Structure 1
Amino acid sequence: MAINQGFVVIGAQSVFFSITELKTLADLERGQFPVAIGEDIFATHQISPETVDNVVQALQNVAQVFQDYGIDRQTVVGSHSFFEADNAQFVWDQVVSRTGWQIQRATLSQEAFYRTQAVFARFPDFAKVTKAGTVLIDISSGSVELTAFTNGEFGFSRNLSLGPLRVFEVMSDVQASVPNYVEVMRDFIDSRLVDFRRLLPRGSHYPHMILMGSALSLLETLIPVGQTAVETDRDGFDLLYHEVIHASDQYLADTYELPLTQVSQVLPTVLMVYRLIKTLTAEKIWISNLKMIDGLAVNQALESGYKPVALDPTKEIIMSATNLSDRYQVDPKHRDTTVTFALQLFDRLRNLHGLGKRERLLLQVAALVTDIGSFVDTHKHYEHSEYIIQASELMGLDTIEQQMVATIARFHSSDSPQIDLGDLPLMSTQRRLVIAKLSALLRVADSLDASRQQKIQKIRVSQKDDRIVLHATANDDVELERWTLARKGRFFTAVFGVAIELKGRLSV
């Protein structure tokens, strides 16, 4: 039996919706209702009551469409732009109470995650295109998200607060006062790209670029009907750029059939893409009409047990954590050893901890990034790890999960205070217990490479009534690891109610 589900994304300028058949990812219906959330936020930092009314009306219209199709399952997500407003929490509560729909909050890293799932699943010949270095650029009204792929694999993601509507609002005073408005805007955009250039991996080359996002109204008119993307090159985009910078608003509206309310974003959008093409020396450019809402459908299909595409979403999450670890120069041998032991302990002690696949992933992510604080200072590095993780983008994790990973990293060290579940008032009791259990497992795993020399080659776990015994096969003496585990294992005993000890023998 086909399962149809509704999806809604509240963006900065539109409420997008789709009805998707999860088994095949075929869309039964899709559309959008314009709203002016971004104009309110970027101009006054407040969402006005009139705009709230428009959002509610748009959602009620979507609800009617869903009802007409007999849809009783829906996912409603607010983009990060929606939550930038100073009164966002009040607006969220008003919208929820007036529509009856719960609105999930998407972080920047989640939005990037959904977009990559959309292109993995729906972009034509994605694997072939991304064999060469490729940057996926999603342009929304308030921000630009850049996600890099090499050899078909996710590389890194960066977010810039440089969306065209935000740029237009910032530069609106300049437009009326300077004759060389385009040059000033170009310099403004270039100044915001400085940090992005600095963070690019050395020696990287990205000849391919995929453009997508809610702010590409003009560019999407170039896509043939029924297709999801169209290819061009630098020369083709140069022609479009020179046409736009010399065109009047009325010409753009008439030629590209754009509402006058969107024309103001055309110049900053095209100028921004033009400068990014120059920065990355891109040679081939694809313009796509895929959006975050498409990734929501892909993600839900996978979570519902359907396999419409050969896609493992956890790979992106793990790669994102690995990239963060590399950025802060974590010792890869110790990191990978800790990850291996942590996952082995998790798998072999399932009947003790009772946790599932998602918690296993959180443990893996925590093990990858737990030592990044040493980049700042090895003294109390666990505290530095915590705030770096919370301030970073870990693709695919929601806000609570990212906070959980940060807290696990904080408590992985025996030098940190013993975890007090009362210190985490914003977490549910269940999540606090998960944090404690994963922290205990990570402490043990970290202990097994206390010397940072990877002495232990493999472990065997035996579970007795009152203790867990780790039988290690090692290539050298493991007294330091045994002593470290005796200290760090006290927390494991406190959490699980059983002692843990290490026995080692030299490999022949």
Structure 2
Amino acid sequence: MSTEKLRVAAIDLGTNSFHMVIVEESEAKGIVEIDRVKDMICIGRGSISTKKLDKGAMEAGVAALRNFLVLATQHEVPVRNIIAFATSAIREADNRQEFIDMVRRETGLEVKIISGKEEAQFIYYGVRNAVTLRDKPDLLFDIGGGSVEFIIADKGKAHLLESRKIGVARMMERFLTTDPVSEHERKLLEQFFASEIFDSAEKARELGVTRAIASSGTAENIARMIRAGKDAEGGDALNQTGFTRQEFENFYKSVISMDRAARRKLTGLDEKRVDLIVPGLILINVIFREFNLREVVISDSALREGMVVHYIASMRGRKGSCPLDIRRQSVIELAHRCNWHEPHSRQVARLSLMLFDQLKPLHGLKPHYRELLEYAALLHNIGVFISISAHHKHSQYIIMNSDLRGFAPTEIDIIGNVARYHRKQPPTEKHPLYSQLKPSHRRAVDVLSGILRVANGLERGHRQNVQSITMRDEPKRIVINALARYEPDIELWAVSGHKEWLEEVLGKPIVIEASLQ
């Protein structure tokens, strides 16, 4: 298998918009996004009823693709690694071949028209690359302009792959003539949606689905608007955030009766979705009801990201079309982007996990926190990429603003805080990013940062000296014995100044002993 860097550009020719994502993949760093661009072409404008792509829209599409190719070339993507897939509006148009030929003639780009089921498959790959799927099946759905894809999947496989012709542009053209939408048209659209998704909902009920993962601009816009209404200070990242059924219903009731002018004023709504958001809201309302969902989680990866991971897997000769552990891959990618000192960081992580395991009777944290400790340890020093001075604070900032894939926002907050407190002042409620955590998470940060400080001390010489750790819990003290390859003077000196916080958290003095192999 080749280990050279591979750059790929994936273009998604959707009904409403054309998107391109450019990535670089290598064995060391995994998949790293280089750039992305979107152009709201509306290639499907008017084609739902006429079955023909508008000439002006085709010309605009070609112009957009020409610009995409220039950008890909500037990012040094080989022409052979630029892939383009066309979806609902183009695949259903009678003059689709005319457009495909036009694109090939004027840009040299070969566009592949994919089926609805293929589209669902690629969306599944893309979502798996951004959101951690569970043992229990979830509903995945992607709202496009011409079609909506429904996937029921768990972390092992997809149980259902379907595509329905109920995209927001199609539904707006077919059903909506009033603004604000009349009750009559709303009910007609609700009934149509319910009939189209009946079979998928039946399958979901059989499998006990209660959560959905949405991967589309429509769902992202709704999530952003709901967030703006409850948290004006929230960040831009949406991946693995979302909204509950109650949050959505409250928002839906307040917005569905608005006219165009009122919708324009909504914080978070894309100007070009002012009209399309109406059928989108109605559809998600029906999805919540028919699938009996508790919440919708957002995935910022979908079709084009799925195209990328599938293409790279085929180029590399790998089985499967997505990483087995997106959380770990995302952490390692970030570490490499920040030029981490890998041997040191991996040693600190290894020692941290040993301490976590042996101190478990005393700290009582659930196994889930063990994983977060490992990632904080791997990333604790990446702030040096910005500056050695106060690098612990820089590490926290980078972690909390890097959109780590597969993590919930609270998990990223914990990882960032633990890395922040690997040195210098221990956690204090005077620090806003720590004080805003709920009490159980502050307790976890206290324990994990205490462990990380000790592990970091035991690797002070950056020489991977300590081979293993054993712990004795005595009535009045904790004794930690470090087995070393060489005389561990520097490590013992360092840890003596790092253990005070863990002693306070665990309520016992800690004695560090050492022995040689």
Q: TM-score, normalised by structure 2?
A: 0.55
Cα distance change of structure 1 residues 202 and 266 upon mapping to structure 2, 3 Å threshold: closer
Cα distance change of structure 1 residues 89 and 68 upon mapping to structure 2, 3 Å threshold: same
Quote the offset at 1:79 in angstroms. 1.6
In the alignment, the residues of structure 2 paired with residue 274 and residue 36 of structure 1 have an alpha-carbon distance, to the nearest angstrom, of 24
Quote the offset at 1:289 in angstroms. 2.4
In the alignment, the residues of structure 1 paired with residue 37 and residue 146 of structure 2 have an alpha-carbon distance, to the nearest angstrom, of 21
2:103 alignment counterpart = 95
In the alignment, the residues of structure 2 paired with residue 260 and residue 310 of structure 1 have an alpha-carbon distance, to the nearest angstrom, of 35
Q: Aligned AA for 2:191?
A: D
Question: SS at 2:194's partner residue?
Answer: helix
Q: Aligned AA for 1:48?
A: D
| Contact 1:253-1:263 at 8 Å conserved across structures | yes
Name the Cα RMSD after superposition: 2.6
User: Of residues 153, 158, 181 in structure 1, which corresponds to 2:162?
Assistant: 158
Q: Aligned AA for 1:84?
A: E
**Mapping of 1:126-205 within 5 angstroms?**
126-127=132-133, 130-150=134-154, 152-173=156-177, 180-197=184-201, 200=203, 203-205=206-208
2:381 alignment counterpart = none
User: Of residues 290, 301, 306 in structure 1, which corresponds to 2:301?
Assistant: 290
- Work out whether 1:281 is the aligned partner of 2:292: yes
In the alignment, the residues of structure 1 paired with residue 71 and residue 91 of structure 2 have an alpha-carbon distance, to the nearest angstrom, of 26
Q: Residues 425-455 of structure 1: CA distance to partner in whole angstroms, max 9, x if unpaired?
A: xxxxxxxxxxxxxxxxxxxxxxxxxxxxxxx
1:56 alignment counterpart = 62
Question: SS at 2:207's partner residue?
Answer: coil
2:250 alignment counterpart = 239
Q: How many residues are paired up?
A: 307
Cα distance change of structure 1 residues 203 and 111 upon mapping to structure 2, 3 Å threshold: closer
Quote the offset at 1:244 in angstroms. 2.0
Quote the offset at 1:121 in angstroms. 2.0
- Work out whether 1:79 is the aligned partner of 2:87: yes
Q: Residues 159-182 of structure 1: CA distance to partner in whole angstroms, max 9, x if unpaired?
A: 221111111111134769966432
Q: Residues 350-400 of structure 1: CA distance to partner in whole angstroms, max 9, x if unpaired?
A: xxxxxxxxxxxxxxxxxxxxxxxxxxxxxxxxxxxxxxxxxxxxxxxxxxx
| Contact 2:140-2:152 at 8 Å conserved across structures | yes
Quote the offset at 1:110 in angstroms. 1.4
- Work out whether 1:208 is the aligned partner of 2:211: yes
User: Of residues 68, 79, 91 in structure 1, which corresponds to 2:74?
Assistant: 68
1:264 alignment counterpart = 275
Q: Residues 24-43 of structure 1: CA distance to partner in whole angstroms, max 9, x if unpaired?
A: 21110001111021223124
Q: Residues 96-116 of structure 1: CA distance to partner in whole angstroms, max 9, x if unpaired?
A: 111111111211121111111
Question: Which structure 1 residue ranges, 5 or more long, are not aligned?
Answer: 313-508
1:110 alignment counterpart = 118
| Contact 1:217-1:258 at 8 Å conserved across structures | no
Cα distance change of structure 1 residues 111 and 177 upon mapping to structure 2, 3 Å threshold: closer
Q: Residues 436-488 of structure 1: CA distance to partner in whole angstroms, max 9, x if unpaired?
A: xxxxxxxxxxxxxxxxxxxxxxxxxxxxxxxxxxxxxxxxxxxxxxxxxxxxx
| Contact 2:8-2:23 at 8 Å conserved across structures | yes
Quote the offset at 1:11 in angstroms. 0.8
In the alignment, the residues of structure 1 paired with residue 180 and residue 308 of structure 2 have an alpha-carbon distance, to the nearest angstrom, of 43
In the alignment, the residues of structure 1 paired with residue 198 and residue 253 of structure 2 have an alpha-carbon distance, to the nearest angstrom, of 24
Quote the offset at 1:240 in angstroms. 1.9
Return 178-187 or 72-81, whichever deviates more.
Answer: 178-187
- Work out whether 1:254 is the aligned partner of 2:270: no
Question: Which structure 2 residue ranges, 5 or more long, are not aligned?
Answer: 228-234, 326-517
User: Of residues 198, 221, 224 in structure 2, which corresponds to 1:221?
Assistant: 224
User: Of residues 1, 7, 12 in structure 1, which corresponds to 2:10?
Assistant: 7
In the alignment, the residues of structure 2 paired with residue 227 and residue 218 of structure 1 have an alpha-carbon distance, to the nearest angstrom, of 10
| Contact 1:14-1:35 at 8 Å conserved across structures | yes
In the alignment, the residues of structure 2 paired with residue 177 and residue 243 of structure 1 have an alpha-carbon distance, to the nearest angstrom, of 13
Quote the offset at 1:53 in angstroms. 0.9
Q: Aligned AA for 2:126?
A: A
| Contact 2:44-2:146 at 8 Å conserved across structures | yes
Quote the offset at 1:192 in angstroms. 2.8
| Contact 1:46-1:86 at 8 Å conserved across structures | yes
Cα distance change of structure 1 residues 231 and 174 upon mapping to structure 2, 3 Å threshold: closer
| Contact 1:77-1:103 at 8 Å conserved across structures | yes
Q: TM-score, normalised by structure 1?
A: 0.56
1:28 alignment counterpart = 34
